[in-house]
Structure 1
């Protein structure tokens, strides 16, 4: 029986199916993690990923991953995918984020100019066992808690609160009509009210400042930071190696070829947008481009900032074109149904997010080396605010984890069998307790993997630089 067929059963039948899956994987079975006997060397996994990336940027990736176990974890989605494939799962699937660590939950703007809280990064999105996203989320919380000096009991409370929020939210969605699930979203105003009621005065002020600051992080603020006037023309400012304009990247002939290809990318990507968005994009013209180094796990993939102007120099649009490679989950969860990896990212994002960037689209382009590569495009910055894990107290992280758990449940409920998952989880805290133990055990493994990378750098096996 396929997942789609499940959705056509009666609610009673779907609930019975979910409870029956406890024979496949008991909820308490999720507590354990033992590395597989043939577990690959973690540095080998990272190096295999790096083989398809820009070699001059790969040392930056390793340098960032070396900074702390948490930074390592952010770049180690491929390692954890290998491990998750050997953990129990209920056999119930949903569209996964694929990299649902805590910093991939943040404030975002909807096209209607509402500030929302949602999942953000979908480079690894793919259908798969819903448990994988939940496990990656709770492990990230434990690792961040360790970095902050939280006690074991404090970290356990954070994880249990997060998983309880996921479990209770998916049960609530199971009782809702399908369209009501689809329309559900977490509005920042409601979120702010909830947080303010549960935090002390000092933390409330910091949270309020974060919410206010998010609304200033738009294309105009990005333009002020990233661009400057050169001979009377607006141009992207160099900040090597993180931002490198085309003029500084390569000689004249190759530069013109690359500029032509990127202009063609923008023109062709527009065809993947709805007609009204194409009409909007057509009112802008491309004026400059630069290569950008992004994130931790994505460092080395090809990423471009594209500056467009509308009416005049005060009317900018900044797009980010980011290379999309196959998901790290594909080897274990099955290949994407989308031939274009950029389309895979966009389709997954639209399916999981309550509302997505209005310029979100995809295209394939041939590089200077003659190889075709897939990209997805979106606005570079639009009312975004990233949580600062290092500033969180145990109480704040517990509240933040609850928000993430509820958000992830909503994202999974849009595509998976929410009734079956809710019945599998039940109303006890068995799964919550199991994941608290799993998260600690896997955090230990992550620390060992982090040390393995550090040893590889010391021995000269791989090079790492700070940037």
Structure 2
């Protein structure tokens, strides 16, 4: 796809959508002849594989230099944390693996930590995908393989046996396959309205988890409901005189007054104030009206995530009717997707719009303040950003505390959620036809995930060695 061409996953799929359900299912079954489901089991990087450190360093070149050691330090902590920051490496590797030829809007970084509890605009707790920095249309298998491999890596860190890991991954992929087949029989509107309501998921957990697992989930759900702008306001700000301002916590949180001085500070502050007004144009009319009832009072730079460390990220403190009515937005730099080199450029010229469009397409419910714009930075360069609430009822179960039964259930929920997200954009009937009713694809992906987890461990070791010999510098946070 050419950048800015107007192509999208809908444009690519439109011809097949005009076919009958039987013809669409036949397309999927025919794809098995060209790309057998069992072929997804293999991964052979070959002698010409690009040095993974070169891939990471290429990403770092355009980021905030003083923050790069934090990124390396976080990625070096464990194979799983390395994997979270290695989406670009895996995208390059997946490009050489078999493709069914069927497309969907991809998350692009569908590891298990990017599935979590979120708040709907109606204030219901739902389970959905959270991170869309790398979203683009592409082979649906890539998201499935990234999810499966993350389960293997997390299982290894928890000391699970190979058999237990295989059971977890196969259950997750089976859940994806069975949900896609179920969605294939539904009408378009029914698919669009489907979502992972936590009351339903709680009922499933009550049947599948022991008392400790049920209590842990209950606490995560309760905590998620407290993670909103008011909680972030109390945690991240302090009174400075009679006004609220962000609390410095360098290098993770640096208020703009501490980061820059004089004209440079005034220029960037003015640009970010203008951002709030400009980005409102990417919101619907009623949400734009709501946003304009707030005014911006403070700005700080924030370090976020693992793979995102070094990208430019600003948190914006806005107040509404009074000093106790806060809204905290996050403006995060959106760079070119790591998938673009392998599936084609985005249809959108603004990378922030790419992220927002992908998120709106894949998520069942979304942040009412999700939008995009372009900002001139401290170096005078124009960069794309997407904007959302910093916290909006977000909750997550960390894999380190999961027992095998809990991780298996979590993997199944992720698989179902990913299938629903893909079904909203891709040809769900053709994908279901390709997957079929047997477990051939499930077993193949489970095998791939183990082999790729081995590769991830080698890549992680290479980063640790590069830090040891001084090729790159790491910092602990």
The TM-score range, normalised by the shorter chain, is over 0.9
Q: Distance in 1 between matches of 2:352 and 2:46?
A: 32
Please state how far the C-alpha of 1:398 moved relative to its aligned partner: 0.3
Report how far residue 197 of structure 1 moved: 1.4
User: Helix, strand or coil: the match of 2:425?
Assistant: coil
Q: Would you say 1:400 and 2:398 are equivalent positions?
A: no
Distance in 2 of aligned mates of 1:455 and 1:170: 42
Residues 351-370 of structure 1 deviation map (CA, whole Å, 9 limit, x = unaligned): 00001100000001112322
Q: Could you tell me how far apart the structure 2 residues matched to 1:402 and 1:203 are?
A: 15
Structure 1 runs, 4 residues or longer, greater than 3 Å off: none
Q: Secondary structure at the match of 2:286?
A: helix
Offset of residue 118 of structure 1: 0.2
C-alpha distance in structure 2 between counterparts of 1:19 and 1:37, whole Å: 34
Unaligned runs of 5+ in 1: none
Structure 2 residue corresponding to 1:320, chosen from 298, 317, 330: 330
Q: Is the CA contact (8 Å cut-off) linking 2:287 and 2:368 kept in structure 1?
A: yes
1:291 and 2:301 aligned:
yes
1:103-182 to 2 correspondences below 5 Å: 103-182=113-192
- In structure 1, how many angstroms separate the alpha carbons of the residues matched to 2:411 and 2:67? 33
Map 1:41-440; keep pairs closer than 5 Å.
Answer: 41-440=51-450
Contact kept in structure 2, 1:284 and 1:309, CA below 8 Å: yes
For the Cα contact (< 8 Å) 1:36–1:86, is it kept in 2?
no
CA RMSD for the aligned pairs? 0.8
After TM superposition, give the deviation of residue 280 of structure 1 in Å: 0.3
Aligned length: 467
The alpha-carbon deviation at position 44 of structure 1 amounts to 0.3
Specify which of 430, 454, 467 is matched with residue 444 of structure 1.
454
Secondary structure of the residue aligned to 1:56 is: helix
Q: Distance in 2 between matches of 1:183 and 1:245?
A: 41
Judged with a 3 Å threshold, the aligned counterparts in structure 2 of structure 1 residues 277 and 69 are, in CA distance, closer, same or farther, namely same
Residues 72 and 450 in structure 1, CA contact (< 8 A), matched pair in contact too: yes
* Alpha-carbon distance in structure 1 between the residues aligned to 2:224 and 2:473: 36
CA positional deviation for 1:232: 0.7
Task: Choose the corresponding residue for 1:5, options 8, 15, 25.
Answer: 15
Instruction: Quote the offset at 1:253 in angstroms.
Output: 2.2
Q: Which runs of 5+ in 2 are unaligned?
A: 1-10
CA distance in 2, matches of 1:226, 1:24: 54
Aligned-pair distance for 1:37? 2.9
CA distance in 2, matches of 1:158, 1:140: 11
Q: TM-score, normalised by structure 2?
A: 0.97
- What TM-score, normalized by structure 1, do the two folds share? 0.99
Q: In 1, Cα distance between the equivalents of 2:475 and 2:83?
A: 18
Alpha-carbon distance between aligned partners in 2 of 1:279 and 1:59, rounded to the nearest angstrom = 41
Question: What do the CA deviations read for 1:149-168 (whole angstroms, capped 9, x no partner)?
Answer: 01000000000000000000
Kept in 1, the 8 Å contact 2:217–2:397? The answer is no
Distance of 2:25 and 2:12 partners within structure 1: 16
**Conserved 8 A contact 2:112-2:147:** yes
- Return the offset for 1:102: 0.1
Tell me how far 1:189 sits from its aligned partner.
1.1
Aligned to 2:4: none
User: Residue 19 of structure 1 aligns with which residue?
Assistant: 29
